[in-house]
Structure 1
């Protein structure tokens, strides 16, 4: 059995990144898409989420080395899973710079897609995906690259979101 959920893309933009031309401030360069799938037999099924960045214009994006955090609002039954590149510091408070080769930097053109992956397993994510599949919560996926990392690695910065909604 396989359950696919459609994604409605909502674009949220932060400050201009170095890869955007000044006249294109309001035009999106990428979109975020996600899908929840149930795989395997009913007794042994698992729920997984796939996340993609879709090129709307030429852009450079980070696809690996990302961490995820879960923000849950119990009152509204809304959950946001935020994919981001963490800012980690050493014991002296110095910023630890990740290797560009570990970030899966991809150059996208219009109409191309890049899969996004997490660096580590996220505790509680499987249960959230099951709740979203069963329409018990509203799930939003957010991809966020800070201006610091955007400038450092020459990639798209900002926040991009996709609300996961049941396929009708």
Structure 2
């Protein structure tokens, strides 16, 4: 197994700061915007983005967690069922602008499932997608991110590993792993 560093701690911090500035440019005061992190790993990215945004705009921004497990098209096709995670959205998204946050955009199937799951909480005015890593050339559905930390050319045999301090790692790093 070979590992190649995509983003180190410093570059990841710069990338997240840039993403936050882009969000501020498009959402201003965030008065009609909510942030929702995708379970299981997107919630860590959402929390980092959320904390930085609240410091920058000096305002409370609603943050939620969304699990799309039961909306996945492969849910019943697995030998071992996937364990669901907590969905915690304590606000309505009706008429709001939703920034959906995930760590890696791969095939687009998780995002499609998230769109179905989100409707339970209201009909948003607009949904935007923010991802740290966009894996190019692996999309199975026509899904594109509005905010991308870094686009990476990958093969379907490769894997992107996001290590964040919030998950218990020593440093924030993102790796590309070749499965040999």
Q: Give TM-score, length-normalised by structure 2.
A: 0.22
Structure number with greater CO (CA < 8 Å, separation at least 6) is 1
Higher helix share: 2
